[in-house]
Amino acid sequence: MLAAAGVADLAAVGPREVAAHLATLRAGDDEHPPLSAASAARAASAVRGLHRFAVREGLTEHDPAREVKPPTLPRRLPKALDVDQVERLLAAVGADDPLAVRDRALLEFLYATGARISEAVGCDVDDLDLGEGTVLLHGKGGKQRLVPVGGYARQALDAFLVRARPGLLAAGRGSSAVFVNARGGRLSRQSAWAILRRAAGAAGLPVDGAHGVSPHTLRHSYATHLLDGGADIRVVQELLGHASVTTTQVYTLVTVERLREVYATAHPRARA
């Protein structure tokens, strides 16, 4: 592209050339299809890195890419299950053996607390206080937060801790983890995700593609259902462990979309 524009020296590149290059990536040409905003943003990052390197090494005096804004990525609304789907997911896990009891407790825990999958598998028995109905979660950056645990989750956890966990621990050397595997060690993130996928498949929910149930799905559902139920966004922020309320505000967009869907379906004059 630079050669076509008559630019043969990196030092001669200006903001106009950088902006034109990014615009071409987005629009495409006869030889290349248009790039998505995400792909164009990655290309813009590479261009900025090149020019920063050139300035740092003394190859050029100015960084033309600094003045060019990268493409704005579309805000993706988090996927959330509705309440009926959550209940189907939870009901899809049986209670026939210790591992099934553990799986039900894990899924109930994720939905009841909004915990990240890493926070759930990192939870120790001493972090739980089922009498008070709380759990101490260890989040990103070493930050801790105390989160309520609902009645259904407390029952599932109590059943697991009393009936199933001791037998699983006997197969290993002992572990402080709440959720343990068949060998008595701490359950891994990958295994927790596999549990969720199996339950989703059994419940008839999607497990692949853009709308597939993922480790974050129950966290998204937790936040969305709290806001749907009238919870204050600042409270939800604290429960999720978000450093900024801006991160939590994306869930308000989900609830607005849901309100629109209900309105369009239920109101007799919603559509012209």
| Catalytic option among 219, 220, 222, 225 | 219
Residue 220 annotated among the catalytic residues of the structure = no
Report yes or no on 264 lying in a domain.
Answer: no
- pLDDT at position 46 over 80: yes
Give pLDDT, residue 4.
61
Same domain, 15 and 108: no
Same domain, 132 and 191: yes
DSSP line for 33-72:
PPPPHHHHHHHHHHHHHHHHHHHHTTS-S--GGGGSPPPP
Q: Which residue from 29, 90, 36, 53 is spatially nearest to 217, judged by alpha carbons?
A: 90
Give the model's pLDDT for residue 212.
Answer: 85
Domain membership flag for residue 236: no
Matching residue, tokens 């990192």: 122
Pairing outcome for strands 144-148 and 134-138: antiparallel
Q: Any idea which of 5-14, 24-33, 118-127 has the lowest mean pLDDT?
A: 5-14
Are residues 169 and 117 part of one domain? yes
Residues 74-93 as b/e (b if ≥16 CB within 10 A, e otherwise) read: eeeebbbbeeebbebbbebb
Does the pLDDT value for residue 228 go beyond 90? Answer: no
- Tell me, what's the pLDDT at 208? 80
Highest mean pLDDT among 2-11, 72-81, 92-101, 249-258: 92-101
Number of domains observed in the structure of the chain: 2
For residue 272, pLDDT beyond 60: no
Percent of the chain with pLDDT over 70: 91
Q: Where are the beta strands (DSSP E) in 37-176?
A: 128-129, 134-138, 144-148
DSSP structure string for 196-238: HHHHHHHTT---SSTTS--TTHHHHHHHHHHHHTT--HHHHHH
Is the domain of 154 the same as that of 34?
no
Residue-level pLDDT at 61: 83
DSSP one-letter code for 186: B
What are the φ and ψ backbone dihedral angles of 231, each rounded to 5 degrees? -65, 145
Per the annotation, the verdict on 111 as an active-site residue is no
Same domain, 103 and 24: no
Mean pLDDT, range 61-78, rounded to an integer:
72
pLDDT in tens, 107-156: 999 999 999 999 999 999 999 999 999 999 999 888 999 999 999 999 99
Residue 259 domain flag: no
Q: Does residue 204 surpass a pLDDT of 70?
A: yes
pLDDT confidence of residue 84: 95
**pLDDT above 60: residue 64:** yes
Q: What's the Cα-to-Cα distance from 191 to each of 117, 123, 187, 196, 258, rounded to whole Å?
A: 10, 15, 6, 9, 32
| pLDDT, mean over the chain | 86
**Residue numbers of the domain that contains 169:** 83-215
Active-site annotation holder among 102, 104, 116, 165: 116
Neighbour count for residue 173 (Cβ, 10 Å): 8
Any catalytic annotation for residue 251?
yes
- 5: which 2 tokens? 């524009």
Q: Which of 16, 140, 211, 260 is catalytic?
A: 140
Are 115 and 153 in contact, with CB atoms under 8 Å apart?
no
- Look up 219 and say whether it is catalytic: yes
Looking at 42, 145, 197, 216, which residue is catalytic?
216
pLDDT at 75: 62
